[in-house]
Amino acid sequence: MSKNRKYSSPLVDGPSQAPSRSMLRAVGFTDDDFKKPQVGVASTWSMVTPCNMHINDLASTVCNSIDDEKMKAVLFNTITISDGISMGTLGMRYSLVSREVIADSIETVVGCQSFDGVVAIGGCDKNMPGCIIGLARLNRPSIFVYGGSIRPGLNHTDLITVMEGVGSYTSNKISEEDLIAIEKSALPGPGSCGGMYTANTMASAIEALGMSLPGSSSQDAVSDEKILDCEKVGPAMNNLLERDIKPKDIMTRKAFENSIRVVIALGGSTNAVLHLLAMARSVNVPLEIEDFEELGKTSPLLADLRPSGHYLMSELNAIGGIQPLMKTLLDAGLLHGNCLTVTGKTLAENLENIQPYPDSQKIIYPLDKPIKKDSHLRILKGNLAEDGAVAKITGKEGLSFTGKAKVFNSEEETNKAISNSEIKAGDVVVVRYEGPVGGPGMREMLKPTSAIMGQGLGDKVAFITDGRFSGGSHGFVVGHITPEAAKGGLIGLLKDGDEITIDSERGTIDVDIDSSEIVKRKETWFNPKPAPERGVLSKYAKTVQSASKGAVTD
């Protein structure tokens, strides 16, 4: 048995496996194919969303790069959902759940079919961590391929432009005709949302982690670069198989530290905290939310990218992608250069000949003149979040906020209040029972935060939730509050008018309620949103762990 056929050999070798070979012949295997290592190619293709509508074309290119005299590709599918389409509806409850379904499905197919290597191709937000978690659990030679970013819409627009346009419409700043015009022109074709939202954040995080080929994270979905990225997969996979390099060899503690620093430098999504915690758990790497805070003290924010900045991922790609940024961080001693990657080389070797950004570019700030000297991702603790919360604070909206609570038990209640102009300057909008258990599913609050921005209140109110935020959310926002309301957290006891103080410099989030009042409120507390009795949401609510642990179900 060949060393790189240790999984497929028992499936296809010998007279006893004639039935297995017979079925594989029906899907195109030849005599020679049974002697080759088999590489599963997991496609997240779907017409559900533009993020994934082109993935099968990329998967075909990947399969062609693998199918040669040395390897046999076997294509299979897993699911995707669309955050952007389901945002603000009950359908969004299934978003984070899909991460677990994707991971489970990849593990299930590969484990059953005994593939020797795996390639996973993802586009939308949850595809990427879901794919990585599945690859990590299997721990056989693996590569992740990012589907790529959507190109800018007319007048430099994207999905968040449409979302914030709704807020502008409800506050009578634009007409319905203006809103529809933005809607029709903002998304020109295939690819993931164009700013440094969760999809591009996780693509960048995975490249920095070493699990995708250099340059993969920034390429346009429809581009010669992305096709070339896919064509390189076959030779890279053959090298991994020959050398038996597996995810656990790549996804080390130091590699996760690299990933976190790159996410911070790019101004990435709060979802990166949730997903990197879950990805680390899948390879038994100790990683806690406090590590993001500690690394953040010496990790500058350098990228002027949306949502808090101006530029889109395709514009960063045009000046070199994230590779020159990583080279800058490496040269400054902020990255571990000795981490192994899917090229079979170390991070430092991959970056050795990378040239700096052109002098004329305005997207990536120099290290000595950062946008912010430390991280925009802040881990807050206090009586309102004893187990932690995650804030996204760039400094543009201030570093601290004190205001009166305006409490809602669902996103729907919140959206109605915003559209009725009930949110005023000085409010702390509290949205609870949207956590992993309480939702169930931990919905993203992009719709209300975008509406608040569209109404011009982004720097005048704070927004806190036991749910989470899309990478497109910006403003003074704090999510992942744990313990969540459905698990008895203090956020479930808040009342309108309670004074809440958020201090990102001190890392605190507290409500001014004395202990006797807390005891009194606990006596009358009840959960207004019991979990579903059947189905995937019921199973999820019963098995999911705290957001501060990555909301894993494993």
Residues annotated as catalytic (active site), given as ranges:
470
- Give the pair of three-digit tokens for residue 52: 């994934």
* Cα diameter, the chain: 77
Q: Please, what is the angle between helix 271-282 and helix 289-296, to 10°?
A: 120
SS3 250: helix
528: three-class secondary structure by DSSP: coil
CA separation, residue 119 to residues 44, 159, 264, 439, 554 (Å): 11, 29, 27, 32, 22
CB 108 within 8 A of CB 455: no
Q: Are 5 and 114 a contacting pair, CB within 8 Å?
A: no
β 462-465/476-482 pair status: parallel
Q: Which residues contact 542 (CB under 8 A, 6 or more apart)?
A: 531
Q: Is 58 helix (H, G, I), strand (E, B) or coil?
A: helix
Q: Which two tokens stand for residue 134?
A: 């599945």
Measured from the Cβ of residue 520, the count of other Cβ atoms closer than 10 Å reads 12
What does DSSP say about strands 499-503 and 400-408: parallel, antiparallel, or unpaired? Answer: antiparallel
CB-CB neighbours of 332 under 10 Å? 12
The pair of three-digit structure tokens given for residue 543, joined into one six-digit string: 């098995």
Give bridge partners of residue 465 from the DSSP assignment.
431
Contact call for residues 480 and 390 (beta carbons, < 8 A): yes
Cα angle 30, 31, 36; round to 5: 90
| Nearest by Cα to 253 from 287, 204, 294 | 287
